[in-house]
Structure 1
């Protein structure tokens, strides 16, 4: 069985923040950064970390809200307004630096074999994109990144030119927060990237979150998850 613990990550400006860590039975293994929804590092995120660790990955899920409110955690839709308010206050330049610090921390962990991917959901889908475009440690970026319905992805045409790893995007075709025109823009921006795929599902926003019944769509979630695991199995190999 995987084991779990808390890791303290040192930020670029000398503070520390939490990251939930799940380690597979037989490390060293490829690593994955897991990026939270607006509900924080909650049961859903910890459950996803464990599922990835069961597949043989070392997982770190950083507390992205730590500069606003440490260890913020809500379970379901009842915490949406609070989490969304925190998300609106995020300084994404600082968040990008915190992601890079977490990336460096994972690379330095003895359980990580040197290959690192990323996956995020909702807010985390945007952060996964930020990981792909902005995070570099000693000149290298992630090996592969998956973004689930990232609603705050901006300047995708410019950002696509910074992406140098395979990416997989998951979107719901009935998402009230992400117009299909926005998904069209992502597809167009990455049209010349043969290793980037944009997929759409007959589902709404946050369709993968089993802790939020009004959003969850099991059929779409299961299909997207199977494709995510196939994607990581293909691309997360030791450099």
Structure 2
């Protein structure tokens, strides 16, 4: 695995990150983590993207909390101590924080030699962050994808659908077949917002898949569904970041 560790200085401190793939002249991708943080499973996903021609950055979005982990994606929420820490940390790491950090992530990719367009992909809590990043940096992020992202069209002020008019990127949203964090009414609301804003987008329902199906160490991982996700993601980035 071709991971290199780097430190990224933000307004609030230093975020540790992994970068995968030779960056010089390539298109870049920011991979926004799920709730369980940077770990070998996300490294493997970033490495697969890098093997397909991208320089991939996987930043730790929880860096403000200090050292933690490693977290077990299968058991963390079931463990009283780890689950409480996760819920508190997720609540404390706002969408606005990640959006503010993204300028530093983009700068880090540029510093590594990325000169091509940049894509964003997020899983679980990272899905909304990828879409909000695209809205906040429309001249830098050319493609944004979310897989089993939650609350993409909620009543919250930072819900991505509220910022659809600012998105210039192409958007792909892969939805778990049944997902309490992104119910059908939110999917319809997101589709309407993207359509009204004339955003080039696809929202695809992965029937039979559960929240977390695309991440290999998740309890809901589904190998066939994950491969379908890879086909869609690589085709999407291949078209949008060419």
Return the TM-score normalized by structure 1: 0.88
Shift of 1:115: 1.3
Q: 1:50 aligns with which of 35, 47, 64?
A: 47
Q: Is the 8 A contact 1:169 1:197 kept in 2?
A: yes
Q: 1:44 to 1:84 in 2, by over 3 A?
A: farther
Shift of 1:156: 4.1
Shift of 1:118: 0.7
Distance (whole Å) between structure 1 residues aligned to residue 128 and residue 199 of structure 2: 21
Q: 2:194 aligns with which of 185, 190, 193?
A: 190
Q: How does 1:61-76 map to 2 (within 5 A)?
A: 61-70=58-67, 72-76=69-73
Say how many residue pairs are matched. 229
Q: Is the 8 A contact 1:119 1:125 kept in 2?
A: yes
2:130 matches 1:123: no
Distance (whole Å) between structure 1 residues aligned to residue 49 and residue 69 of structure 2: 22
Q: Is the 8 A contact 1:156 1:185 kept in 2?
A: no
Structure 2 regions of 5+ residues with no counterpart?
78-82
**Per-residue CA distance 1:88-115 (angstroms, 9 max, x = gap):** 12133222111221112112322x1231
Q: 1:68 to 1:135 in 2, by over 3 A?
A: farther
Aligned to 2:8: 9
Q: 1:99 to 1:72 in 2, by over 3 A?
A: farther
2:168 matches 1:164: yes
2:238 matches 1:207: no
Distance (whole Å) between structure 2 residues aligned to residue 141 and residue 7 of structure 1: 21
Distance (whole Å) between structure 1 residues aligned to residue 216 and residue 3 of structure 2: 21
**Per-residue CA distance 1:162-208 (angstroms, 9 max, x = gap):** 11110100101211332111111111111243511111111111111
Distance (whole Å) between structure 2 residues aligned to residue 135 and residue 158 of structure 1: 15
Q: Is the 8 A contact 1:23 1:57 kept in 2?
A: yes
Aligned to 1:143: 142
Q: Is the 8 A contact 2:122 2:147 kept in 1?
A: yes
Q: Is the 8 A contact 1:31 1:57 kept in 2?
A: yes
Distance (whole Å) between structure 1 residues aligned to residue 202 and residue 97 of structure 2: 28
**Per-residue CA distance 1:125-160 (angstroms, 9 max, x = gap):** 111112111236xxx230111111221334444211
Q: 2:16 aligns with which of 15, 18, 26?
A: 18
Q: 1:72 to 1:131 in 2, by over 3 A?
A: farther
What SS class does the counterpart of residue 169 from structure 1 fall into? Answer: strand
What SS class does the counterpart of residue 113 from structure 1 fall into? Answer: coil
**Per-residue CA distance 1:187-236 (angstroms, 9 max, x = gap):** 111124351111111111111122123x1122222112101100101111
Return the TM-score normalized by structure 2: 0.87
What SS class does the counterpart of residue 52 from structure 1 fall into? Answer: helix
What SS class does the counterpart of residue 8 from structure 2 fall into? Answer: strand
Q: 1:33 aligns with which of 30, 33, 36?
A: 30
Q: Is the 8 A contact 2:151 2:186 kept in 1?
A: no
